[in-house]
């Protein structure tokens, strides 16, 4: 935690600056299943210290993505209960430029949006005088989970639903498609992901490992 002392100070500063409707989260990627090491206003996403990494961060880690600016700002995200949030992420690198953590903010604008909607009902020309909902950049969708098991199952089910075929009726090629998509997301960086995928696809763990090898070769 010593390496993150300054980031914890920054998290407290941001939480004070941005107010109680903004969650500030510090991730340590040395333990992806329990990456959250500090959090303020965790009620926004119902997460706490020891909870898991997000799907967006996992994707950046798996594909070794780099943003020249070192941060992403004002993209859309979604809480476990489906609430839309506006998020920003500052990526933390070590001396060798390896991605080791992230400092994130997640803001709930729902109260503000309700207030704007109310004002617009009373002011038909509200857009002309500058009253409008917050604008956002090209969306980068991120989903929040308390534990990695739920994250894993959610992504497996999403990929199965895309094919719209029950696993029992899937061909090996179709199951390979599911595993390849999960591999590209970085899901197999999480503990238990192989076992969970084997169960959901109704096949063996050995088969899943073979599909993963094929995905790597591709």
**129-150 pLDDT, tens digit each:** 454 555 544 465 899 999 999 9
Residue 122 lies in a domain: no
Q: In the prediction, which pLDDT does 116 show?
A: 54
Q: In the prediction, which pLDDT does 112 show?
A: 57
Residue whose structure tokens are 């992403």: 72
73 touches 137 (CB < 8 A): yes
Alpha-carbon distances, residue 47 vs 66, 79, 105, 123, 203 (angstroms): 26, 10, 13, 38, 33
Residue 210 lies in a domain: yes
Q: What are phi and psi of 124, to 5 degrees?
A: -55, -30
Q: In the prediction, which pLDDT does 29 show?
A: 95
Q: Domain check: are 47 and 83 in the same one?
A: yes
Q: Domain check: are 180 and 139 in the same one?
A: no
Residue 187 lies in a domain: yes
Q: What is the tally of structural domains in the chain? A: 2
Q: In the prediction, which pLDDT does 81 show?
A: 81
Residue 128 lies in a domain: no
Domain of 98?
2-111+135-143
Q: In the prediction, which pLDDT does 4 show?
A: 81
pTM: 0.84
Q: Domain check: are 106 and 28 in the same one?
A: yes
Q: Domain check: are 27 and 71 in the same one?
A: yes
Q: Domain check: are 95 and 155 in the same one?
A: no
- The C-alpha atoms of residue 214 and residue 99 are separated, in whole angstroms, by 26
Residue 107 lies in a domain: yes
Q: Domain check: are 97 and 199 in the same one?
A: no
Q: In the prediction, which pLDDT does 120 show?
A: 61
Residue 94 CB-density burial (10 A; 0-12 exposed, 13-18 middle, 19+ buried): exposed
Task: Give the Cα-Cα-Cα angle 176, 157, 154 (nearest 5 degrees).
Answer: 120
197 touches 156 (CB < 8 A): yes
pLDDT tens, per residue, the chain with 218 residues: 545 889 999 999 999 999 999 999 999 999 999 999 999 999 999 999 999 999 999 999 998 888 888 999 989 998 888 888 999 999 999 888 899 999 999 999 876 555 555 556 666 655 544 545 555 444 658 999 999 999 999 999 999 999 999 999 999 999 999 999 999 999 999 999 999 999 999 999 999 999 999 999 98
């Amino acid at each position: 935690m010593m390496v993150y002392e300054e980031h914890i100070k920054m998290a407290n500063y941001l939480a004070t600056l941005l107010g109680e409707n903004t969650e500030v989260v510090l991730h340590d990627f040395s333990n992806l299943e329990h990456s959250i090491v500090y959090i303020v206003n965790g009620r926004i996403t119902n997460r706490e210290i020891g909870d898991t990494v997000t799907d967006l961060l996992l994707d950046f880690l798996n594909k070794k993505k780099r943003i020249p600016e070192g941060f992403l700002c004002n993209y859309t995200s979604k809480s476990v209960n489906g609430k839309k949030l506006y998020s920003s992420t500052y990526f933390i690198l070590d001396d060798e430029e390896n991605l080791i953590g992230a400092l994130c903010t997640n803001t709930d604008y729902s109260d503000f949006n309700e207030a704007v909607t109310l004002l617009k009902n009373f002011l038909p020309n509200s857009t002309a005088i500058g009253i409008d909902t917050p604008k956002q950049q090209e969306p980068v969708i991120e989903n929040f989970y308390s534990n990695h098991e739920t994250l894993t199952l959610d992504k497996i089910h999403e990929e199965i639903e895309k094919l719209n075929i029950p696993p029992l009726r899937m061909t090996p090629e179709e199951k390979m498609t599911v595993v390849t998509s999960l591999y590209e997301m970085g899901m197999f960086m999480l503990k238990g992901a192989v076992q969970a995928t084997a169960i959901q696809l109704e096949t063996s763990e050995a088969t899943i490992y073979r599909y993963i090898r094929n995905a790597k070769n591709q």
